[in-house]
Structure 1
Amino acid sequence: MTAAVETGTWQLDPTASTVEVRHRTMWGLVTVKGAFTAVSGRGEVRPDGSAAGTVTLDVASLDTKHAKRDTHLRSADFFDADNHPEITFAVRGADRLGGDDVRVTGQLTVRGISRPVTFTARVSDASAGALTLGAEFTVDREQFGMGWNQLGMMRGLTTVTAGLRFTRTAA
């Protein structure tokens, strides 16, 4: 990695982090976009260079700028926020690739259903005390029990885009 990442414990800065989703609907004619406004997390970079951590999203914080749609997305048809108020991504490993790229592997849990997910993230703006990870990956919502699809309007995969800013905590 060209950006140096210090060993130790790292805390997610929710004010400088974003997690957004987008999905095509209306038979592919419209893209619905939303952002989770409440995100938390922490991670650890070990002396051997391995990493682990967790990022948590508050399902009730999903904002698509359309109140009726947001209520429906929080319902049992989709995220089922009453029974599953959080989405978590538990990082099991992060392997350095070329340059500033990192292969991240972990478990994504939505609606109480966990699935393995692997994607490439890019480390940017790294210093001894802070770093930013950027990533984009797709998920199949049906694998997480979100099969609602009135009149076949929803097609394809959901794209997740994250910009996560971490700060190093004092030892």
Structure 2
Amino acid sequence: MTVTVETGTWQLDPSASAVSLRHKTMWGLVTVKGAFTAVSGGGEVRPDGSATGTVTLEAASLDTKHAKRDTHLRSADFFDADQHPEITFAVRGADRLDTDGVRVTGQLTVRGVSRPQTFTARLASVDADGLTLETEFTVDRAQFGMGWNQLGMMRGLTTVTARLRFTRTAA
């Protein structure tokens, strides 16, 4: 797919976007899956084709379809949503790698802790209405102060999957 992305300002379409996570628990026997129901953001594509922007998730919007677990994930043991209501990814650069690959570099902030994060996304579609990026990357939750691990049940990295639809805003 050879595509051209227009220069200008882009707004995230929350109704056409999804951010989810999964993490192994119970000593690797069970995978907990959840999705953030409140996502927002926007960005700018520069004349050289690079991009900057921000994607914001409401920490309390994480839904794993298990109310007691969701309450625990929102607590100070994990996201501490009362003190840190937003999870943000500030895109410092997004550069085309090939026809549909994009290297994204930025700063991930969770629980007030910011860490650099780089991953590869795929430009899944570009049309007259907008563009869609898809990515999957891993995060070490301990780097963001989420060290709760009763009886050593939680192992490994958390996988984040995102499908983000952006529409071009009027000039």
Q: Same fold (TM over 0.5)?
A: yes
> Once superposed, what is the RMSD of the aligned Cα atoms?
0.9
After TM superposition, the score normalised by the length of structure 2 is 0.98
Provide the C-alpha distance between the structure 2 equivalents of 1:2 and 1:139, rounded to a whole number of angstroms: 31
- Secondary structure in structure 2 of the residue aligned to 1:143: helix
Deviation at residue 143 of structure 1 after TM alignment = 0.1
Moved over 3 A (4+): none
**What is aligned with 2:41?**
41
**What is aligned with 1:26?**
26
Q: Percent identity?
A: 84
**What is aligned with 2:158?**
158
Structure 2: gaps (5+ residues) = none
**What is aligned with 1:102?**
102
**What is aligned with 2:59?**
59
Deviation at residue 129 of structure 1 after TM alignment = 3.4
Provide the C-alpha distance between the structure 2 equivalents of 1:70 and 1:133, rounded to a whole number of angstroms: 27
Provide the C-alpha distance between the structure 2 equivalents of 1:118 and 1:128, rounded to a whole number of angstroms: 28
**How many matched pairs?**
171
Provide the C-alpha distance between the structure 1 equivalents of 2:129 and 2:16, rounded to a whole number of angstroms: 14
- Checking the alignment, whether the CA contact within 8 Å between 1:3 and 1:124 is kept in structure 2 is no
Deviation at residue 163 of structure 1 after TM alignment = 0.1
After TM superposition, the score normalised by the length of structure 1 is 0.98
**What is aligned with 1:86?**
86
- Checking the alignment, whether the CA contact within 8 Å between 2:101 and 2:120 is kept in structure 1 is yes
Instruction: Please show how residues 119-138 of structure 1 align to structure 2 within 5 Å.
Output: 119-138=119-138
**What is aligned with 2:144?**
144
Provide the C-alpha distance between the structure 1 equivalents of 2:135 and 2:42, rounded to a whole number of angstroms: 16
Provide the C-alpha distance between the structure 2 equivalents of 1:30 and 1:169, rounded to a whole number of angstroms: 42
- Checking the alignment, whether the CA contact within 8 Å between 2:50 and 2:96 is kept in structure 1 is no
